[in-house]
Structure 1
């Protein structure tokens, strides 16, 4: 179901009119592009040589994001007659990564793809991607690589090279119902873990018709848990791609608090909460606060019939959140295609396009210059909630990324779920997880 040809300007929508866009998750649906990949590296158009690129992209949020990507690509094609990008919607992040890996092994990878920033080491270990800084140096575009927010580059660089660039990036933020806060006599969002518990207890009804808090705990549970470890002074991962810190005492303490929220303090439902359930419960008034992706902002503002507040995640020792979301990767193909792919990546992340993408979705615009555009200034004047995730970047740390990244993430997610459901204590769950991760990563040298 392709969309009609249109420029990006013609299809750009204000945040106030964007239809439902939910947060990150694997259940999003969107129409796939029916155009097939264009064989070969070039063709002719208008008498000139055309470089054909394939662009695989996932949809990590509900709503018409696939159409927006297609419109964005069409605007690029309209303004670059010597490059034709064919965009292919490829499902969620997991299915897109699987497709890309399979295609690379078969000798037909996409030229560009949006994949999780944490997929870097897997793709690098496969030899599938090229360093973006090498291409940028050849094109005289090194200043462009310096333009991104440093927090996003923590998951974009390794071994002294930049292997991908930020595109649709996010952090977790606290969404809160200002109307319910006012009724409960709470004047501001919680700043600390203690305040989070106290406020959530005031906002929880004994009959379960209203919860003070909901934090998604199914799916990418490691990501929802990771802020607590960072806020307690110890991230679960450092600079080395072959080492994790799951059983560090501060991480264990953080998981204990994570588990206590539903089980001891009884401020959120017991068991596992689905990623897509939390924003629905929030916008319908069933949950007074939720932790969710900044990429859910547009949907929540559209759906909620009350005053929505957005705040930093509450701190223990410090504020903190992992970054999240997708980067642009350029795959090893031909010099001609790689050069054209760089042009496409630069265009997608330009200040004007990054600002528009952010305003329409809630993803964070990936460069400070995007926030200097008049369009973004006007948007934030009307929608100050859109600045919170950007401001929280000063406290952001890297998302869990290692060799064998998806397996290591699943190990931590499983440990968190075992603790949340009472199968293991937080200490035992993380001890077991550390042993599994160590065994998996032992074949990689520092």
Structure 2
């Protein structure tokens, strides 16, 4: 509606006419204002809020009190509530199968099936393991409240002080999902596993959708993430090594996880204690703040050709570095012309392997504040590095680049090599069934076993203005779910990565996987002796310096003493960055 009239006053016009004109204008303005007032505003979300208290027979739905046929109770750490109460409060359809004692729940196309006393339920076609199954108590059917609510797209919060559980739900959330962009670099079988698990999360959390954005490799992931931060457009969550996270934290978009861990949908003390301590510790930066959660954690293990070992009269994998050197000599072969036809081992110089070697020989790389190099003049570090340099010089160990060591082992030209616990599938592909593959913990040095704990964590750019609280809560829900015991068991069984949770070792899925291939526990067997690499931004450049200097040492371009001295100078120059 528009007011296009023009009011003109003639010189001879009376005051009465002016007043009449002003009255007309006032009436029109009032009418115009009334029209604007009737224009509808954007539709607000309709949210249903449900509250129950442990031990009480009453609850509320949108503030209206209701009597429960069975009071809410806790069993196996999970809140159980009457089945009919929670389904009716959320507007779901319930069909009871008396023969199988199964509750079939449907809401907006999402389907849940819970059977009394069964610890496995169905959600949109996926099997979901329950901590506490549906049960019949006092002749009433009760179900795990969190499971049912989240499976229908609701969010749930626990107030320990009041012993109150709050569920919030909106049909609008099912129509407009909380989108979580996740930048990752999981390829081949690892990527297949991640996609399968993420599809399961999306199906069993219908108001949320994690969208995987796969990068070609870790270098691409890091480069693009740095670029996205500079462009003020980071992903919501991403894989990141500790030193990457230290760099990202300077951009002010990275958020800590403490508020989520300690929040109403957080982790209990028992759940926190269930994480392997080394992995839990690796998710903090040098300032003590928890910017990360464990994701795909691994360490370096020894892979070897069992058939070649048997032919050489070697009965087991080496347990010390000196035994490793001795076995390299036994496995080494030259033909009648003196040409090398078999090496004891093949190795591409690795910062992670050398880092563990330093500690196995009683040394340290940096001090506790990560600002001072400690290895330059350590005799143990010199001895461990010299052992490798001598093996290369004698041609008992083949110097390779990139994944040449995998190729050597696969074609039967090397007896041993080193790789990530998650790399077994790649070695098996290279071997193609030609011989039996062995896997063992790294050999011990004079100071014992030591292996660098590596693999990435998940970080959240929760301070980026573009993301809503719903999206951030969904991101945390995914991370919490992914690091839960059963999901970690499946992840470890499918990929070879170590589970982040200790109780995952009791999960039937992982028990079966380790029973089928017992040696794949090698990484876990050396986890207690794992050492953490520096969670500082300068460590990224330091790794490059270490690699270059190791190459020079192992190629015989410099002596071990001079090479370590130069390495120490180079690392010291960049570690503060």
Matched, 1:391 2:521: no
Report deviation, 1:377. Answer: 0.8
User: Which residue pairs with 1:260 in the alignment?
Assistant: 390
* Equivalent position SS for 2:301: strand
Flag the structure with higher helix content. 1
Q: Which whole-Å deviations, capped at 9, do the CAs of 1:48-76 have from their partners, x for residues lacking one?
A: 552111000013xx634333322222211
Does residue 179 (structure 1) correspond to residue 179 (structure 2)? The answer is no
2:326 counterpart of 1:191: no
Of 216, 229, 240, 2:348 maps to 216
Distance (whole Å) between structure 2 residues aligned to residue 151 and residue 248 of structure 1:
28
Q: What is aligned with 1:140?
A: 266
Structure 2 residue 284 is the aligned partner of structure 1 residue 157: yes
What is the distance in 1 between the residues matched to 2:416 and 2:293? 32
Provide the aligned length of Structure 1 versus Structure 2: 398
Normalising by the residue count of structure 2, what TM-score does the alignment of the two structures yield? 0.65
Q: Is the 8 A contact 2:181 2:211 kept in 1?
A: yes
Contact 2:370 2:534 in 1 (8 A): no
Q: Any idea what SS the aligned residue of 1:433 has?
A: helix
Matches within 5 A, 1:275-286: 275-286=402-413
1:391, 1:8 → 2: CA distance? 32
Identify the range of structure 1 (369-378 vs 156-165) with the bigger mean alpha-carbon deviation. Answer: 156-165
Is the deviation greater in 372-381 or in 116-125?
116-125
Bigger Rg, structure 1 or 2? 2
| 1:102 and 2:227 are equivalent in the alignment | yes
Q: Does structure 2 conserve the Cα–Cα contact (< 8 Å) formed by 1:215 and 1:292?
A: no
Tell me the equivalent position of 1:289. Answer: 416
2:340 alignment partner, SS class: coil
**2-side partners of 1:103 and 1:427: how far apart?**
42
Equivalences for 1:356-395 in 2 at 5 Å? 356-395=490-529
Please tell me whether the aligned partners of residues 489 and 507 of structure 2 are also in contact (alpha carbons under 8 angstroms): yes
Q: Is the 8 A contact 1:54 1:110 kept in 2?
A: yes
Q: Provide the TM-score with structure 1 as the length reference.
A: 0.83
Unaligned runs of 5+ in 1: 1-5, 11-42
- Structure 1 pair 196–154 and aligned structure 2 pair: CA distance change class (3 A): same
2:539 and 2:575 in contact (8 A); partners too: no
2:459 matched to 1:329?
yes
Judged with a 3 Å threshold, the aligned counterparts in structure 2 of structure 1 residues 142 and 129 are, in CA distance, closer, same or farther, namely farther
Provide the rounded CA distance (Å) in 2 between the counterparts of 1:101 and 1:293: 26
* Offset at residue 208 of structure 1 (A): 2.2
How far apart are residue 328 of structure 1 and its match? Answer: 0.9
Which of 305, 312, 323 matches 2:434?
A: 305
Query: Cα 1:387–1:83, aligned 2, differ >3 Å: closer, same or farther?
Result: same
| Alpha-carbon distance in 2 for matches of 1:362, 1:234 | 29
Q: Which runs of 5+ in 2 are unaligned?
A: 1-123, 129-169
Q: Does the residue aligned with 2:177 lie in a helix, a strand or coil?
A: strand
* Aligned CA-pair RMSD: 2.4
Selected match of 2:372 from 220, 232, 243: 243
Separation of aligned partners in 2, 1:306 and 1:8? 37
Question: Shift of residue 439 of structure 1?
Answer: 2.7
Aligned pair 1:75/2:200, yes or no?
A: yes
Whether the 8 Å contact between 2:356 and 2:451 is mirrored in structure 1 is yes
Deviation at 1:163, TM superposition (A): 1.7
Q: Aligned equivalents of 1:118 and 1:420: distance in 2?
A: 26
Counterpart Cα distance in 2 of 1:343 and 1:327: 16
- CA pair 47-187 structure 1, distance change in 2 beyond 3 A: closer
Q: 1:8 to 1:235 in 2, by over 3 A?
A: farther
- Secondary structure of 1:162's aligned partner: coil
RCO higher in 1 or 2 (8 Å CA, sep ≥ 6)? 1
Indicate whether 1:121 and 2:246 are aligned.
yes
**Separation in structure 2 between the aligned mates of residue 110 and residue 7 of structure 1, nearest angstrom:** 30
Quote how far apart the aligned CAs of 1:210 are. 1.6
Query: Are the counterparts in 1 of residues 294 and 500 from structure 2 also a CA contact under 8 Å?
Result: yes
3-state DSSP class of the match of 1:161? Answer: coil
Q: Secondary structure at the match of 2:179?
A: strand
Pair 289,407 (structure 1): closer, same or farther in 2 beyond 3 Å? same
